[in-house]
């Protein structure tokens, strides 16, 4: 089997008593474009900092293209392009100057360096600001310069921590298109909070919450999840419910009253085929009015909300803070306190 581009085994990191990354294991094959999602403080940046050799792990292992992040950090650095959460740039340098300097640092040969910088500036749409001082750039442009920087040495792996943060909607679209395009030639792990946009580009999504992986599925698997239908039918709720339940294509039915004789039905199909027309025909044949028929697939946002909200609801259901007279319970973090 080919060595995975990113191989993470039981990785953990604690900052004192804060368990930022907790026993994380995953592999990313070459060329995969992975959306790394999670609420604020989930541990995404910490994980990325470990993978890019910026931060040592407390325990566990990680290899990039087969190189150990701890013991072969220089080899790892040669093979990655890293866009950190806040892009560190030298404000007194001009964009092209800065990128040329970075290219030199990254060992891009003198011959061809200029062309490479030009190419990366064009790809990340910063050519028009190439003579501007970095300190005068807007956050979005600075972010793009950071992205151009990651591409300079043409590394096989890109680790991008919120590459779309601070961008306006048009720039988000453009940056995601660039990332998608890069996805063909590079393995990419990118974190973001903009879920509907991720939906357009990702091959796989990993959701991390409180340092632990809560969800890891490919786009193919998500797309193949069974669909449900939303039907709005004017007719007697009980009779329509019973009728829908009797249909051989239907696995389950949930009814919700909209108006006195209009009901919304969430119908789960037994298979992945589209049964909308068949069901619509049968409902019409019964003489009931069909106001709406819609297929619904779980969006990334719905999946994210389900995965993350489940945890938040559990937290809300936990005992409320006790009165001041009682002994103070352990800090609100319900998770275990890691060993030092």
Ligand X SMILES: Nc1ncnc2c1ncn2[C@@H]1O[C@H](COP(=O)(O)OP(=O)(O)OP(=O)(O)O)[C@@H](O)[C@H]1O
- Interface mask (CB under 5 A) for Mg ion, residues 63-102, using x and -? ----------------------x-----------------
Q: Is 3 helix (H, G, I), strand (E, B) or coil?
A: coil
Which residue, 130 or 191, is less far from ligand X as judged by CB? Answer: 191
What angle separates helix 139-151 from helix 113-123, to the nearest 10 degrees?
130
Closest distance of CB 136 from Mg ion, Å: 26
Which residue, 50 or 253, is less far from ligand X as judged by CB? Answer: 50
Does 45 bind Mg ion (CB under 5 A)? Our answer is yes
Does 178 bind Mg ion (CB under 5 A)? Our answer is no
CB 39 within 8 A of CB 47: no
Does 150 bind Mg ion (CB under 5 A)? Our answer is no
Residue 46 interacting partner from ligand X, Mg ion, none (CB closer than 5 to 8 Å by kind): ligand X
- What's the angle, vertex CA 181, arms to CA 112 and CA 91, rounded to 5? 60
Residue 43 interacting partner from ligand X, Mg ion, none (CB closer than 5 to 8 Å by kind): ligand X
Closest distance of CB 38 from Mg ion, Å: 9
Does 143 bind Mg ion (CB under 5 A)? Our answer is no
Only one residue has tokens 């003489």, namely: 287
What are the residues whose beta carbons fall under 8 Å from the beta carbon of 112, sequence distance 6 or more? Answer: none
What distance in Å separates the CA atoms of residue 210 and residue 313, rounded to the nearest whole number? 14
Greatest pairwise CA separation for the chain in angstroms: 78
Which residue, 50 or 240, is less far from Mg ion as judged by CB? Answer: 50
Which residue, 32 or 162, is less far from ligand X as judged by CB? Answer: 162
Tell me the residue nearest to Mg ion as measured from the CB. 45
Tally Cβ neighbours within 10 Å of residue 138: 13
Give me the sign of the Cα torsion angle 237, 240, 246, 248: negative
Does 46 bind Mg ion (CB under 5 A)? Our answer is no
Which residue, 43 or 235, is less far from ligand X as judged by CB? Answer: 43
- Give the residue among 308, 249, 316, 301 at the shortest CA–CA distance from 279: 249
Residue 42 interacting partner from Mg ion, ligand X, none (CB closer than 5 to 8 Å by kind): ligand X
Q: What is the H or E stretch that residue 179 is in?
A: helix 169-183
Q: Kindly list the residues in this chain that would bind ligand X in the complex (CB under 6 A).
A: 15, 18, 20, 38, 40-46, 85
Closest distance of CB 184 from ligand X, Å: 27
Residue 325 interacting partner from ligand X, Mg ion, none (CB closer than 5 to 8 Å by kind): none
Residue 274 interacting partner from Mg ion, ligand X, none (CB closer than 5 to 8 Å by kind): none
What 3 state SS string does 260-287 have? CCEEEEEEEECCCCCCHHHHHHHHHHCC
Closest distance of CB 44 from ligand X, Å: 3
Distances (CA, A) of 67 to 72, 118, 150, 204: 6, 30, 19, 23
Closest distance of CB 242 from ligand X, Å: 47
Closest distance of CB 39 from ligand X, Å: 7
Residue 38 interacting partner from Mg ion, ligand X, none (CB closer than 5 to 8 Å by kind): ligand X
Does 52 bind Mg ion (CB under 5 A)? Our answer is no
Tell how many helices (H) and how many strands (E) occur in the chain: 11, 14
Which residues of the chain form contacts with Mg ion (CB under 5 A)?
A: 44-45, 85
């Amino acid at each position: 089997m080919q060595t995975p581009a990113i191989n993470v085994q039981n990785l953990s990191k604690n900052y004192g008593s804060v368990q930022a990354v907790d026993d994380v294991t995953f592999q990313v094959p070459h060329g995969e474009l992975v959306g790394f999602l999670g609420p604020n403080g989930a541990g995404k940046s910490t994980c990325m900092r470990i993978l890019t050799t910026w931060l040592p792990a407390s325990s566990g292992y990680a290899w990039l293209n087969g190189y150990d992040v701890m013991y072969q950090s220089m080899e790892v650095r040669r093979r990655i392009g890293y866009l950190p959460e806040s892009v560190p740039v030298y404000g007194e340098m001009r964009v092209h100057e800065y990128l040329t300097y970075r290219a030199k640092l990254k060992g891009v040969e003198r011959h061809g360096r200029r062309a490479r910088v030009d190419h990366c500036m064009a790809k990340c749409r910063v050519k028009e600001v190439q003579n501007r001082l970095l300190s005068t750039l807007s956050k979005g442009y600075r972010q793009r310069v950071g992205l151009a920087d990651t591409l300079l040495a043409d590394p096989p792996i890109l680790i991008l921590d919120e590459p779309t943060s601070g961008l306006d909607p048009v720039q988000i679209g453009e940056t995601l298109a660039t990332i998608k395009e890069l996805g063909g030639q590079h393995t990419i792990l990118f974190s973001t909070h903009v879920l509907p946009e991720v939906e357009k580009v990702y091959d796989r999504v990993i959701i991390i919450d409180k340092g632990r992986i809560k969800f890891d599925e490919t786009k193919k698997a998500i797309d193949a999840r069974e669909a449900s239908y939303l039907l709005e039918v004017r007719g007697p709720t009980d009779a329509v419910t019973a009728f829908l339940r009797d249909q051989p294509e239907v696995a389950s039915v949930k009814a919700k009253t909209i108006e006195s004789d209009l009901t919304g039905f969430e119908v789960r199909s037994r298979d992945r085929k589209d049964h909308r027309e068949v069901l619509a025909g049968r409902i019409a044949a019964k003489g009931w009015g069909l106001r709406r028929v819609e297929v619904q697939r779980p969006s990334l946002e719905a999946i994210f909300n389900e995965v993350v909200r489940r945890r938040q609801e559990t937290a809300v259901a936990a005992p409320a803070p006790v009165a001041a007279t009682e002994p103070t319970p352990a800090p609100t973090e319900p998770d275990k306190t890691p060993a030092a």
